[in-house]
Every structure is written in structure tokens, then in C-alpha cells.
Amino acid sequence: MRYRRLGKTGYKVSEVGFGAWAIGGDWGTVDEREAMATLHAAVDSGVTFFDTADVYGDGRSERLLARLRSERDEDLVIATKCGRRAPQEVASYSPENIFAWIDRSRENLDTDRLDLVQLHCPPTDLYYHPEVFAALDELVSAGPIAAYGASVERVEEGLKAVEYEGLASVQIIFNCFRQRPAEMFLSRAAAKDVGVIARVPLASGLLTGKLTEDSTFPADDHREFNREGAAFDVGETFAGIDFATGVAAAQQLSQRVPEGGTLAQLALKWILTHDEVSTVIPGAKTPDQARQNASASLMPDLDAETLEAIRYVYSERIEPLVHHRW
């Protein structure tokens, strides 16, 4: 595993982290024994950065990570998110609510001080309310949180977020099928010493190459119930691409997978070719998935032909559908 600096937090974290949404909820059922085995497999593979949220399984994901930390000696960084427990309007992000959410996460994670708290895809208008960020600055000073950041839906939100001096990280969707952040956002974040956490790196499984047009999902899996954005932003599910188009594009990219590798590893390595990215956070539901994801860190660099193929597939199949939206 290779490690990178997470912006002004100063944390040195694994460049392949672990997204803990899948073990919390909205991805079908994962029993606790399998979830813990998966988390331990990730740490065994060198993963030190874990991302969760207070709404993943209504706190289940946070509690599983608290248990992981208690069972390991490694120095793990656990980032959580807050804000989705209330109606999505700026008024919900009052200091009182923020403090209450953070206290609940501290209890779930069994810690007095949270490593990193991120606003969880709040309304766009919130980024124009400096009092919200001032409240987070106060929490850093007081001690309940060590650092704060924002998880954003749109590039424009990320560009606005990095203007706040206290903001330490931005989590953004960035993958072979969502390339717009590389145009301007990544360089702006680096200039502000803001860590970049790349989420949805495998486009909800499309970039594993294992899905076909006939693939089905359980009713409690967001890949079934949120395909049209019924529950939350549709860009979080299959990166906002219609399923058939995504499957076809992934099949085309599969032709570029190096011998002995997987499409998922190729997709993760592509993200890591961007030095501004601090860590990429694929999810995993089995120990083998966790190990395979982590191994992308030590893959050989992608050659020019492969990089060009990824650019071509995006420009021809994907860009007209998503580039202007997020």
C-alpha cells in the first residue's frame, strides 16, 4: 500500500481507503460477521482510511468501525459525515443540530474526538452561509472534532467549499465515468491544501465489469430503488449513467485490463494517476473484494494507450450524458 497526505489535516492515509456505505445499508444485507471480516481484511491489506456516515444503517456502519478500531493496533483514520438526518434545507444546519449530530457520531464511534467530519451533500445554498463553517471552526477549537470537510454533489460546490480556510477536505464523485473534477477542481483543491477523497470510484459496481444488462438487485439496494433519483441524487447511483450505457462502456474498458488484473483495479488506478487525490474509497462487502481493491495501489502505472482508451470511452459514450450535470 502507498500512502498520501490528506490535505491540511496532516493525516497520512492509505491511497486506497474503504467506503463503509455498503456494510451499513442500502446495498442489500451484509451480516455483521462478514462485515467485520471485510474490514479486517482491508486493514490487513494496508488500508488506514475509512469513510462512513451517521445515516449508513442509522449508525450501524459507525458502530462497526468503532469495533474495528478497538480490535486493531494500527493508527486508523475514520471520517464520518453528518446532515442527512434532517430535512435538506439550510435552516437544518444550525449549530445546535450540528453539535447533536456530532455527539451522536462520537457515541457510535466510541471516541471523544472525531478524526474528520464532513457535511453530507448539503443543499448548494449552504456553501454561501459562512456561519455554518464558523460553527465547525468552533468545534475544531473546542475539541470534539479534529478537522472538517464537505462531501459534495457538484464540482461547483467543491470550488465554493475550498474557499473556506478551515475546510480540510472535499469528497467528490470522481471516476472513469465522471471525469469533470479533473478539469479545474483538483488543481484548485491542491492549491488550497484541501484533501480530495474520491468516492463512487467504481460507479456503483459498473466499473467492476461484473454487471450485465440482466443483473438484478434486491429491493433494499439503492441500485434498484434510486435509479431515477427517487431517494437521493441520481448521480450517486451508477454515477448518474443509465444502466445499459454503463454496462456497454464498462465492457469496452474491460479490453484494456492488464493481464492478471481486474477492471476494478484499473478504474481505481486511473483515479490514483491524479496526484491531487488523497485517497479513493471503494466499498466492499467481502474480504476478497477488500483485498482486491487495496491491491490496486501497487499496480504498475497505466500506459499511454490505456489512458487514451479511458479518455475515448468517456468522451464518446459518457460525457454527453453526465459532464454538464455534476
Phi, psi of 226 (to 5 degrees): -120, 20
CA distances from 307 to 126, 157, 239, 273, 314 (A): 36, 27, 20, 10, 11
Across the chain, the runs of DSSP E, i.e. the strands, are 3-5, 12-14, 18-19, 49-51, 77-82, 116-120, 148-151, 169-173, 195-199, 279-280
Hey, how many other C-beta atoms are within 10 angstroms of the C-beta on 95?
14
- Quick check: is 312 catalytic? no
Among 3, 11, 56, 148, the active-site one is 56
* Separation CA 297–CA 207 (nearest Å): 17
* Separation CA 319–CA 325 (nearest Å): 10
**Dihedral over alpha carbons 320, 321, 323, 324 (to 10 degrees):** 90
* Separation CA 321–CA 295 (nearest Å): 31
Hey, how many other C-beta atoms are within 10 angstroms of the C-beta on 229?
12
**Dihedral over alpha carbons 93, 95, 98, 100 (to 10 degrees):** -130
Task: Dig out the grid coordinates for 202 from the structure.
Answer: 467504481
Q: Which of the residues are catalytic?
A: 56
